[in-house]
Copies of this chain bind each other. A is one copy, B any other.
Amino acid sequence: MAEVETVKNKQVLLKDYVTGFPKESDMIISTENTISLKVPENSNGVLVKNLYLSCDPFLRSLMQKPKPNSKSVFPGFKPGSPIHGYGVAKVVDSGHPKFKKGDLVWGMTGWEEYSLIQQADSLFKIEHTDVPLSYYTGILGMPGITAYGGFYEVCHPKKGEKVYVSAASGAVGQLVGQFAKLMGCYVVGSAGSKEKVDLLKNKFGFDDAFNYKEEHDLDAALKRHFPEGIDIYFENVGGKMLDAVLLNMNMFGRIAACGMISQYNLDEPEGVKNLIVVIPKKLNIRGFTASDYFSLYPKFLDLVLPHIREKKITYVEDIAEGIESVPAALIGLFSGRNVGKQIVVVARE
């Protein structure tokens, strides 16, 4: 039997299940693993070199001890094992007919230097490389499809409608706002710093924006920005913000919910008190995740790639260097330290 090349494989391990606000020390950078750069015989997996890792708020839900009967889309992290999430990677060896050595892919991967991905069917092959490769963690990856599916398919927007986006400078929000402007909507975003508010107004073209941390009365802030009410709310936050939004929704308004980041680190979630208005206002609240719209990925690319090339859509990334920066980058999402889509570069090629 030929000798198989193995290499050292730096990994990000979960130290123990997380409760409350996650800390950098909940993860460990381990240098103890080695990995073969060949897929096992008779495997249809692919062996990849990870390039860009996508820090996303939903990963918080995978850090905690799974509840009995919980129905999660993704398996939770296991203490002592590498964490996983979306990323961009290069195929080093393939047992899968769809992929060959040298292909670039994006999808779920281990958060380590090299990964053997057994469910290679779930990977997307990257066909367009005239745009930054890192975009496949964001505008051209899971957050992009989230914004696209949520805005067009869930919200059914019409020209002139009033759109509110929370966490608006984040990976999904910045794109939703730009889609809304392309559609001819009036769009206001909220974020947690002056720098982010400036980005919303001056870079992403939102009609207006506000810093929610400076508003002691969110209901009043929304009434100021939406004197005619809100038709579409793109929900990334939950909790008190959702309660204030419900009071300002118009008849037959739509709320697309793909995240509630304000709630992820609470042991007991905040109660939403104004839910009853869904009846007289005939509101539609729909939860969704990007995977519901993966089948629309080619259609999505047809829409968004020309806009990127023509600079009609822009995208802001917050790039951390080196796998060692994963814990700080991931935890930073929950204090809003990132400005734009948070990415970690493991390797550039």
A residues at B contact (CB < 8 Å)? 61, 71-73, 238, 242, 251, 257-260, 263, 268-289, 292
What is the predominant secondary structure among interface residues of chain A facing chain B? loop
* Residue pair A238, B272 in contact (C-beta under 8 Å): no
* Residue pair A287, B292 in contact (C-beta under 8 Å): no
* Residue pair B268, A273 in contact (C-beta under 8 Å): yes
* Residue pair B282, A285 in contact (C-beta under 8 Å): no
Cα distance A288–B253 in the bound complex, in angstroms: 11
* Residue pair A276, B280 in contact (C-beta under 8 Å): no
* Residue pair B286, A278 in contact (C-beta under 8 Å): yes
* Residue pair A278, B273 in contact (C-beta under 8 Å): no
On chain B, the residues within 8 Å of A61 by CB distance are 280
Copies of this chain per assembly: 2
On chain B, the residues within 8 Å of A263 by CB distance are 276
Most chain B CB inside 10 Å of its own CB: which residue of A238, A271, A275: A275
On chain B, the residues within 8 Å of A274 by CB distance are 269
CB distance from A266 to the nearest CB of B (A): 10
On chain B, the residues within 8 Å of A278 by CB distance are 257, 285-287
In chain B, what residue has the closest Cβ to A283?
A: B287
In chain B, what residue has the closest Cβ to A269?
A: B273
On chain B, the residues within 8 Å of A269 by CB distance are 273-276
Q: A238-B275, A272-B271 are in contact. Are A286 and B287 (CB under 8 A)?
A: no
Q: A268-B273, A273-B270, A274-B269 are in contact. Are A286 and B288 (CB under 8 A)?
A: no
In chain B, what residue has the closest Cβ to A284?
A: B286
* Residue pair A280, B287 in contact (C-beta under 8 Å): yes
On chain B, the residues within 8 Å of A285 by CB distance are 278, 284-286
Q: A71-B251, A251-B71 are in contact. Are A279 and B287 (CB under 8 A)?
A: yes
On chain B, the residues within 8 Å of A260 by CB distance are 275-276, 279
CB distance from A206 to the nearest CB of B (A): 24
* Residue pair B275, A72 in contact (C-beta under 8 Å): no
The listed residue (B271, B282, B292) touching A271 by CB distance below 8 A is B271
In chain B, what residue has the closest Cβ to A248?
A: B69
* Residue pair A275, B272 in contact (C-beta under 8 Å): yes
* Residue pair B258, A279 in contact (C-beta under 8 Å): yes
The listed residue (B251, B272, B289) touching A279 by CB distance below 8 A is B289
Given contact pairs A73-B280, A263-B276, A279-B288, enumerate 20 new A-B contacts (beta carbons under 8 Å).
Answer: A71-B281, A257-B279, A260-B276, A268-B273, A269-B273, A269-B275, A269-B276, A270-B271, A271-B272, A275-B275, A278-B286, A278-B287, A279-B289, A280-B289, A281-B287, A282-B288, A282-B289, A283-B287, A285-B285, A285-B286
On chain B, the residues within 8 Å of A242 by CB distance are 275
On chain B, the residues within 8 Å of A282 by CB distance are 286-289, 292
A-B contact pairs, 16 of them (CB 8 A): A71-B251, A242-B275, A257-B279, A260-B275, A260-B276, A260-B279, A272-B275, A277-B287, A279-B287, A279-B289, A280-B289, A281-B287, A282-B289, A282-B292, A283-B287, A284-B286
CB distance from A346 to the nearest CB of B (A): 28
Which 9 pairs across A and B sit closest by C-beta, in order of nearness? Answer: A271-B271, A278-B287, A279-B287, A285-B285, A284-B286, A271-B273, A272-B272, A269-B273, A260-B276
